[in-house]
Amino acid sequence: MSDIINVTRSSIPDFEEYCDEIRSIWESRWLTNMGEKHQQLESELKKYLGSEEVALLTNGHLALETAIEAFELKGEIITTPFTFASTTHAIVRCGCTPVFCDIDPVTYTMDASKIEALITEKTVAIMPVHVYGNFCNVYEIERIAKKHNLKLIYDAAHAFGAKKDGLSSACFGDAAMFSFHATKVFNTIEGGALCFKGSELKTRVNDLKNFGIHGPEEVMYVGGNAKMNEFCAAMGLCNLRHLDQWIEERKAVVEHYRQRLGGVEGIVLCPEQPGVDSNYAYFPVLFDGYKYDRNQVFDRLGENNIIARKYFYPITNSFDCYKGRPGFDPDMTPVAKFVGERILCLPLYAGLSLEDVDRICDVILG
Ligand SMILES: *Cc1c(COP(=O)(O)O)cnc(C)c1O
């Protein structure tokens, strides 16, 4: 049996590079609470992303919750069910109500033409997702948010390093959230960030991620604990040095997949978006009228020691934990339901060999 090919593999620096990076933590004995590495990574990320403010957090999920808290949102948030559990859970856990907008059948991101019909007097925000690194219809969504005075928070967990019209995904909306989870294009082991404008908001986010403590004798908010520690920040500093190279390696994999699978009847690939520099985060394939359906392809790959991922399936408005809640109904978002039942993410990571890509495509096409 041939070696296992996982759906992803974490990108990491050389062991020695990480050891060098963490040496000063041993010397200072400052392990967390916004130390030197944390400050350094925030400043490097500001440059890399072209964002006015960057706040590092324990993970992407808490970054989303912190954004909702920082904007003091209470009410309905228009979002997409075609996302990871985190997006919908963050809204619900913060006491808001997700209102599900269907997705665009080409980019799988929120269908901007369907947003306005969902706005009520209770709507406070829009939370779209740049699915697979595909950009949302950012200009149109921005126009709608402005017109109706709604906060716009992007779940940009998939879009770190991607650019549209020369601007990074951090630059759109009132805030953009990134995940630096081990499986993402850029990782800090676990970690996340919020990008936004304004030093006042930066202070509030910093307080919120540290129990709401503003000063030694001043607790301003009912905050949680969501600080990134120094070891994770050090991993980020190392990984950022290699990121462009890793994105190039991902690109080579994606181009090979496109050559092998493009134009095959019943296999639908995401088109490249005009004006977008991709980060090649995922390689989703939609099986619609192909000789095998999605589940058959998934099983055939599994039999060949290749692990693909039904991502996103199930869609969040059909989760067991939400059964019976009004508004949680996959039939209300038929495009998201259709895509969720047919989509498969193929293995993709920096360093995946083209021979392995061929092995994967041979099984799919065989
Ligand atoms: C990974 C991910 C998250 C959550 O980020 P964590 O860092 O794992 O907490 C949220 N939304 C999307 C779309 C993601 O892919």
Whether 312 and 335 have beta carbons less than 8 Å apart is answered as no
Centre of ligand 1 to C-alpha 61, Å, is 6
Residue 248 CB burial class (10 angstroms; 0-12, 13-18, ≥19): exposed
DSSP codes joined into one string, 240-273: HHHHHHHHHHHHHHHHHHHHHHTT-TTEEEPPPP
- pLDDT, averaged across the chain: 98
- Provide the sign of the torsion angle of the four alpha carbons 191, 194, 200, 204, taken in this order: negative
Instruction: Give the pLDDT of residue 366.
Output: 92
- Name the residue of 7, 8, 10, 61 to mutate for ligand 1: max ligand atoms within 8 A of Cβ: 61
- pLDDT tens-digit series, residues 184-206: 999 999 999 999 999 999 999 99
Centre of ligand 1 to C-alpha 282, Å, is 14
Percentage of the chain with pLDDT > 90? Answer: 99
Instruction: Give the pLDDT of residue 2.
Output: 82
- pLDDT tens-digit series, residues 14-41: 999 999 999 999 999 999 999 999 999 9
Taking the alpha carbons at both ends of the chain, their separation in whole angstroms is: 17
CATH of 15-238, one of 3.30.420.130, 3.40.50.150, 3.40.640.10, 3.20.20.140: 3.40.640.10
- Altogether, the residues listed in the chain come to a count of 366
- C-alpha torsion angle, residues 225, 230, 234, 235 (rounded to 10): -50
Using alpha carbons, list the distances in angstroms from residue 64 to 153, 177, 179, 256.
8, 6, 10, 34
Mean pLDDT on 232-249:
98
Centre of ligand 1 to C-alpha 176, Å, is 12
- pLDDT tens-digit series, residues 272-313: 999 999 999 999 999 999 999 999 999 999 999 999 999 999
- Provide the sign of the torsion angle of the four alpha carbons 349, 130, 86, 43, taken in this order: positive
Centre of ligand 1 to C-alpha 182, Å, is 10
Residue 329 has pLDDT above 70, yes or no: yes
- pLDDT tens-digit series, residues 54-99: 999 999 999 999 999 999 999 999 999 999 999 999 999 999 999 9
Q: Cite the DSSP H helix spans in the chain.
A: 15-28, 36-49, 60-70, 85-93, 138-147, 199-208, 230-261, 294-303, 334-342, 354-365
Whether 135 and 249 have beta carbons less than 8 Å apart is answered as no
d(CA 303, CA 287): 19
Residue ranges of the chain that CATH labels 3.40.640.10: 15-238
Centre of ligand 1 to C-alpha 192, Å, is 8
- pLDDT tens-digit series, residues 97-155: 999 999 999 999 999 999 999 999 999 999 999 999 999 999 999 999 999 999 999 99
Strand 267-269 to strand 151-155: parallel, antiparallel, or no bridges (unpaired)? Answer: unpaired
Give the ligand 1 atom nearest the CA of 62. 9
In terms of CATH architecture, what is 242-365?
Alpha-Beta Complex (3.90)
Instruction: Classify the phi-psi angles of 189: left when phi > 0, otherwise alpha if psi is within -120 to 50, otherwise beta.
Output: left
3-state secondary structure of 283: strand
Ligand 1 is surrounded, with C-beta below 6 A, by 59-61, 83-84, 86-87, 129, 155, 157-158, 179, 181, 192
Secondary element (H or E) of residue 152: strand 151-155
Residue ranges of the chain that CATH labels 3.90.1150.10: 242-365
Spatial neighbors of 49 by CB under 8 A, at least 6 apart, are: 168, 169, 170, 171, 195
Instruction: Give the pLDDT of residue 1.
Output: 65
